[in-house]
Amino acid sequence: MSDSNKEQILIEILNTPLRSGGELLFYCPKCKHHKPKLSCNLRKNVFKCWVCNFTGTNLTRLVKRYGSHKHKQEWSRYDDKIDLSSTSFADTLFGEQEANETLLNLPKEFISLTGKHNPLSNIPLRYLHERGISKQDILKWKIGYCPDGEYGGRIIVPSFNLDGKINYFIGRSYRDDWMKYKNPPLHKNSIIFNELYVDWDSDLVLTEGVFDAIVAGNAIPLLGSTLPETSRLFQEVAKHDTPIYIALDPDAEKKAKYLIRDMLQYGIELYKIDVRGFQDVGSMTKQEFVERKNSALPMNAESLFKYQLQGII
């Protein structure tokens, strides 16, 4: 029976459980409560912690998150459900996707801020500094600017695809231009901004803008506040079964609610970060963001209903 093999793997990862009816009660690796409160049901393939509400509709999530490489391999041998790690999962769910990605060149006036200091760069550097963006952020995000040209007076943040090629960039004015952003036209649903740097095995934050994502760490900007189910990003999130933290601007509550509803339909582990009191994540310090993330509200059908009643979302 594959269930007893799978039980054995869970025990190796989470230690000996208490048994209660058809359920196994483990110590919760997430909240580390001193009593075994993480209830797992192998037959139904679900788990829930009664303390921190860590919930999932697939035990594979526990194995992927807390197991070793060996555990993951063994698990996939006994798992007769759809293999979440295979690319065919997305195809099964969403149908074959055409690879219709367009590559871009950065504007020819682009000057990188990652290299040696150039006195010409003082103004854009000061702008970034005032926004709380550090030298490390500049290096990590490969930030630059254009002194003139079509994107003149704009900070440029490039997006790299998995091959390390540029598939998009954003241009944010550092000179009080009437148009804050000037970006290339985009089939927004076909790219994942900076996919090259995304860690799908860690908590992943979805933000509206790139400057929000810089504060949030392992984060992807939606470049807006909506995310259709047919978009590549939505598909990848479902495929990787990554825990998602939604951190949209406070004025996009309604759109956040739609996104939460859509993602819950795919059984995605979901949390909502309260950004109220700030204009957006980009105006928080990293420390402020971490605090908000640590107190994010877990989202499931039940909590969604409750939060709707309370007017939280």
Residue type, 196: L
For Zn ion, what does the binding mask look like between residues 71 and 110, x meaning CB under 5 A?
A: ----------------------------------------
Q: What is the dihedral of CA 11, 33, 300, 265, to 10 degrees?
A: -20
Site size toward Zn ion, by CB under 5 A:
7
Nearer to Zn ion by Cβ, of 51 and 196: the residue is 51
The verdict on 244 binding Zn ion (CB under 5 A) reads: no
Match 């990590």 to its residue by tokens. 140
Least separation in angstroms between CB 56 and Zn ion: 12
Q: Extract the tokens encoding 110.
A: 């682009």
Q: What is the dihedral of CA 71, 72, 77, 81, to 10 degrees?
A: 130
Which neighbouring-strand residues pair with 282?
none
Least separation in angstroms between CB 81 and Zn ion: 24
Least separation in angstroms between CB 306 and Zn ion: 19
Nearer to Zn ion by Cβ, of 56 and 124: the residue is 56
Least separation in angstroms between CB 102 and Zn ion: 44
User: 103 and 166 in contact (C-beta within 8 Å)?
Assistant: yes
Least separation in angstroms between CB 127 and Zn ion: 42
Nearer to Zn ion by Cβ, of 28 and 213: the residue is 28
Least separation in angstroms between CB 13 and Zn ion: 15
Distance separating alpha carbons of residues 146 and 112, to the nearest angstrom: 9
Rg (CA), the chain: 22
Sign, CA dihedral 132-134-137-141, equals positive
Nearer to Zn ion by Cβ, of 49 and 213: the residue is 49
Q: What angle do CA 59, 83, 14 make, to 5 degrees?
A: 25
Could you give the angle at which helices 232-240 and 253-264 cross, rounded to 10 degrees?
50
Nearer to Zn ion by Cβ, of 79 and 269: the residue is 269
Give residues 22-81 in contact with Zn ion (rule: CB under 5 A): 28, 30-31, 49, 51-52, 54
Nearer to Zn ion by Cβ, of 29 and 152: the residue is 29
Sign, CA dihedral 91-94-96-102, equals negative
Give residues 172-201 in contact with Zn ion (rule: CB under 5 A): none
Contacts to Zn ion by CB under 5 A: 28, 30-31, 49, 51-52, 54
